[in-house]
Structure 1
Amino acid sequence: MGISKRDPIIIVGGGAFGLSTALHLTRSGFTDISVFERDDHIPPRYSAANDLNKIVRAEYEDPFYTDLTIKAIAAWKTPLFAPHFHQTGFLHCVSGEAPQKAIDTLNRFRASADGNEQIKPHVVPLKDQNDIRQACWQLNGPLPGWTGYLNRFDGYAHSGNALAGVHRAAQAAGVRFYLGMHGAVDEIVYVSTLQGKKSSGIRTKDGKFHPSSLVIVAAGGAVGRLVPEIGKKVVAKSWSVAHVHLTDEETSALRGIPVTYARDLGFLFEPDPRTNLLKICPMGGGYVNTDPETGVSHAPATLEESAFVPEHDEAQMRKLLAHTLPALAGRPLVKKSLCWFADTDDSDFIIDYVPETSSSVVILSGDSGHGFKMFPIFGSWVFGLIQAGRQSEARWRWKYSNSDKEKENWGGDVSWRIGESKELSEIRPGVSAKL
């Protein structure tokens, strides 16, 4: 290993990737770990994982990720994570109006589930509305043309609570946390060496320098500001999120429903029993916030700039409700926002050293809207990287920019995404996005 277990390590970002890394490095014997987070509490509001729920589904078109998610689900059932995991099942369908791309994607996911010996016994085919109502009687809408399958191996995790639980565990194990004004990182500090440059630590926005032997950047959609070398290979992207506020009785009636996902419309979860909020997300190409000078998309600087959803997405969410739970279709949508994450054009993560930094800076990025399910095991991959001194998994290596081949519809070639990316400025008429 390039560093010893006594050397100081700084992790920038208190979201899913950062907290999982802190936990696994501590469990592996590292004794000097500090996490810097710009929000004043964990779960941080800037993290995509600060949420009521995230889908935990094992079937991927790529067997590589299917195998990893099976391991992750086993880890979700261990004592630290089990309180936050709900194996309610994943009801995966298309409506009768679905485009062919959505149908083809659904069929590939179903083939993945049917082709895996561990998952297959949990899969129930759903040929029509009657099958769906047998699988989930609470879905009393018309379900026009819906067809698909139910995978009882899958479910969801209460992501915000899971972050808080790991934060407590890491803190109890000796990890130091710098939050708020003391945790906002302004820059990675480098010194010159015979081999090029090497990080000596970080400087926070209050002007203080914090030395370290290794800086691990897990800053989500803000990664491009601290590691500009990544260029356009990672972009900040967002999808819409909204909620319906239910009564206690309505929440009780919907307890235990599977994650309900119409691939051409969007998805919803069982309501949260503490807040009575039912979360809904539309399916779409997402939104970017491109700096016209650099061509790089960054997450907006303030939370207020993302506290809305576009009219088109709201209409799509109401359509999903009209299909499934029509009594809720006309309800007000509350806690509306855009959820920002770090996206790669192939949906693969980046877990690697930043080139030409003398192995002193690691980037953890590219969750691409599907990374949280790996929360219990993600940090073990970071430990493996540090232990080996190099990334042996080719798909997780540093991604070099190719200026000759720029994508206008960023991530649009990924099969499971329906629709085209739009600029934040396009969906906020009369309001200029701040970079």
Structure 2
Amino acid sequence: MSQLTKDSSILIIGGGTWGCSTALNLARAGYKTVTVLERSPIPSPTAAGNDVNKIMEEGAPSDTDTPEQYVWNRMHQITTNAWKNDPVFQPFYHPTGFIMAASQESARPHVDRYIATCPDELRLLNTAEDFRATMPEGILTGDFPKWKGFFRETGAGWVFARGALEAAFKEASRLGVKFITGDEGGVKSLVYSGDGSDVIGAQTLDGREHKADHVILCAGAGSDQLLDFEKQLRPTAWTLAHIQLTEEERKLWKDLPVLFNVNSGFFIEPDSTGQLKFVDEHPGYVNIPPSQTPLPFPQSTPFAKHQIPLQSERAARQFLRDTVPQIADRPFAFARICWDADTPDRQFLISRHPRFKSLVVAVGGSGMGFMMMPAVGIAIKETLEGVLEGRLRDGFRWRPETAINRDWRDTQDRFGGEGKVGNFAEVEQWTRVGEEKAKI
């Protein structure tokens, strides 16, 4: 491994949420030769972060935290500071508040744990009238069957994801980071030293080898295609859709708190086009050939699709009928599947590789990667420099022991849907957004 200096060449594989944040932090720290390889133009149309909005929750560690809680809360503290004060990220944070609930008995302990550990004062919500009162009259008109939860009026909200991703990309570019896209940036494989003892670069689809003193692999769900993670990564996807609101509705729905049911779904206020994004909550989908599903942990292969399974559409519309039935049957204006990668304990994996000393891996967003975008870029930079604080370093370490006997069917403390991980390879019917509508 070459000694790290500000003149060292650094290659980042992946120009999504974590890649752009890492590039920004390295450039700000004065590293002069930083290159990012990404197959698609940035922001990539398939990147999980290329989205209208993501949930954001503020936080900080406490003296009573377990080691696992400390890691999570310390990252909350770092990212909260950035979303509030960093000029690149601050414009995109909307602290509108956060409503969290459950409507299945199995999911209620999840909400109860949040209530028990949240430092902010919460308004408990036990009836349909309680939920309706959290928003202007005429928005929440549903019956909220069996819903119970709370309203966190401060310390939470949402971030404009695409805007933040673009801002980090533009500022990193301004500071001298080189971004290579298209076939010239699409990584086909890693490049190893002659004796195979280290990673020294990457080969792109055009056949070129890009070599560097240090390599950072942060290609999201696609990272699993480039390196053996010893079952530490499971590429998992979720489904989302948009409905178009009228101009009058858009004005009424502005500045709403996030509404999130842990076993049903969530929505966030409409974006500037008046489209309301909503997600049906479920343990996720993998993409595994049926012939391999008897295996405990076959490889799940990501792919892009701007449609969702018909089953997901039905579930999403039921969520809307329970909350905002007046818009529940409108046609979808947009839909897509959104990929991430789960670690066994849903904690990030940000570490020097134990075998390839010039390689830093930064993967495993586990459904929480974008909220932590600013903090993750800092953590990756400090991992490269060897100065990441000890408790974070231990929490993010390379830990294949957590994946022993791992089963791809593990729902990982997620609820909703049919209560199990789905498989895209077994989906028979998809929506036809932009085409003739499929019958619901």
TM-score (norm 1): 0.89
Give 3-state SS (helix, strand or coil) of 2:197's partner. strand
Q: Verify: 1:82 aligned to 2:95, yes or no.
A: no
* Aligned residue number for residue 147 of structure 1: 148
Task: Note the alpha carbon deviations across 1:3-31, whole angstroms, 9 max, x for none.
Answer: 11211001011111111111111112211
Bigger mean CA deviation after superposition, 74-83 or 237-246: 74-83
Partner Cα distance (1:395, 1:285) in 2: 23
- Distance in 2 between the 1:313 and 1:143 partners? 19
Tell me the residue number matched to 2:21: 20
- 1:401 positional shift: 6.3
Alpha-carbon separation, structure 1, partners of 2:279 and 2:14: 25
Residues 181-234 of structure 1, C-alpha deviations (whole Å, 9 max, x = no match)? 2111111111135xx51222221110112220111111111001111x213210
The aligned counterpart of 2:220 is 220
Secondary structure of the corresponding residue to residue 194 of structure 2:
strand
Runs of 5+ in structure 1 lacking a partner? 431-435
Cα separation, partners in 2 of 1:389 and 1:356, compared to 1, 3 Å: farther
Match of 1:278 among 276, 279, 282: 276
SS at match of 1:428: coil
Equivalence map 1:317-328=2 (5 Å):
317-328=316-327
Please give the per-residue CA displacement for 1:313-353, whole angstroms capped at 9, x wherever unaligned: 21221111112111101111231111111111211110012
Residue in 1 that maps onto 2:109: 104
1:298 Cα deviation after fit: 1.8
Provide structure 2 residue ranges, at least 5 long, that are not aligned to the other structure.
61-67, 431-440
Note if contact 1:11-1:216 (Cα within 8 Å) is conserved in structure 2. yes
Task: Check 1:67–1:386 CA distance in 2 against 1; reply closer, same or farther (3 A cut).
Answer: closer
Deviations 1:127-178 (A, max 9, x none): 3222222221331222233221111210111111110011110000010110
State how many pairs are aligned: 409
Alignment match, 2:72: 65
CA distance in 1, matches of 2:399, 2:310: 35
CA RMSD, aligned part only?
A: 2.2
Q: How far, CA to CA, are the matches of 1:362 and 1:391 in structure 2?
A: 16
- Tell whether the 8 Å contact from 1:105 to 1:416 is kept in structure 2 after alignment: no
Corresponding residue SS for 1:351 = strand
TM-score by length of 2: 0.88
Partner residue of 1:427?
A: 427
Contact 2:285 2:422 in 1 (8 A): yes
User: What are the within-5 Å matches in structure 2 for residues 148-187 of structure 1?
Assistant: 148-151=149-152, 152-187=154-189
Match of 1:433 in 2: none
1:368 offset after TM fit, Å?
0.6
In structure 2, the partner of 1:45 is: 45
Cα distance in 1 for partners of 2:267, 2:82 equals 24
> What is the letter of the counterpart of residue 168 of structure 1?
K
| Contact 2:230-2:403 at 8 Å conserved across structures | no
1:384 is matched with 382
Partner of 1:201 in structure 2? Answer: 201
Q: Is the partner of 1:143 in helix, strand or coil?
A: coil
| 1:421 positional shift | 0.7
Give 3-state SS (helix, strand or coil) of 1:372's partner.
coil
For residues 121-140 of structure 1, the aligned pairs below 5 Å read: 121=121, 123-137=122-136, 138-140=139-141
Specify whether residues 213 and 21 from structure 1 end up closer, same or farther in structure 2 by C-alpha distance, changes over 3 A only: same
Query: Residues 389 and 209 of structure 1: is their aligned pair in 2 closer, same or farther, counting only changes over 3 Å?
Result: farther
Q: Quickly say closer, same or farther: Cα 1:390–1:253, change in 2 above 3 A.
A: closer
Deviation at 1:281, TM superposition (A): 0.5
Deviations 1:400-423 (Å, cap 9, x if unpaired)?
Answer: 26786131413x1x3244421121
Distance 2:72 2:28 in 1: 24
Q: Could you say which residue in structure 2 is the equivalent of 1:3? A: 4
Query: Deviation per CA, 1:277-329, whole angstroms, max 9, x where unpaired?
Result: 101101111111126678111212xx2xx222222221221111112111101
Give the whole-Å Cα distance in 1 for the aligned partners of 2:342 and 2:403.
17
